Amino acid sequence: MTTGCTLPASPATDEERLEARYPVLSALPADARRRLLQGAHWMRIPAGTMLFDDHQACEGFPFVVDGSVRVSKCAPSGRELPLYRVGAGETCIISSSCLLGHEAYNARGMTEADTLMMLLPKPVFDEMMIERPFRDFVFHLFAERIADLMQLIEEVAFRKLDQRLAALLLGKGRLLRVTHQQLADELGSVREIVSRLLKSFAEQGLVRLGREQVEIVDPAGLRRLVTEGSLKP
């Protein structure tokens, strides 16, 4: 994981925001909470920074206070399949699985926005796993992320790309300021295929295309495509 810009926490601000984002810290015994905070590393990381990549050693357990991290699986060809995002108050299942299994990373993590993070080094993580509130927190997140990943597998395996694209558009509002490449990246596809599908959507009156923007014209039609695989009413 990148070291970013390491800095001390401001007791009146960063630590308070950390505990607001992660209530599990307040549930720890006072001594355990003190040891956790003393052993933590605080980092401010610019948007677009690679936090970790395939085969890198996992150095710690991240707590995202502000910002967002995108976790993807990358193919040798350069194509990416987004797995999930880690926002404020969430954490990374791949980091925790690597720490628990003593394995290197098998995915890539990139900051999508300027990110404030507290990194819990592996020795402190191992120590905190003895504490039941922390252990329950880690395994509860495992369960949530596994459910999300199973849904992703189902979509990739059983839903056609046009349905997945329609669902993605519907989840971003009426007017999307986005490039075809960005949509392709989110779908784990290539720009040319996404551009062809968008052109087809536009010809059918579902969307209106502009420079780096997509306007949804017929949301009901897109919803029918998502649920039924057909535009017929």
Q: What pLDDT digit, counting tens, does each position of 1-38 carry?
A: 654 554 444 545 888 899 999 999 999 999 999 999 99
Residue 176 near residue 169 (C-beta atoms within 8 A)? yes
Residues 191 and 144: their CA atoms lie apart, in Å, by: 31
- Residue 74's nearest CA partner among 182, 192, 185 is 185
Domain end marker among 123, 156, 189: 156
At residue 85, the pLDDT reads: 87
At residue 152, the pLDDT reads: 66
- Residue 201's nearest CA partner among 223, 233, 178, 177 is 223
At residue 2, the pLDDT reads: 54
Q: Which residues pair with 43 in a beta bridge?
A: 6, 117
Please give the structure tokens belonging to residue 39: 């052993």
Domain end marker among 100, 132, 156: 156
Can you say whether residue 92 is alpha, beta or left, with left for phi > 0 and alpha for psi between -120 and 50 degrees? Answer: beta
Read off the pTM.
0.65
Based on the domain organization, do 25 and 110 belong to the same domain?
Answer: yes
Domain that holds residue 105: 5-156
Domain end marker among 114, 140, 156: 156
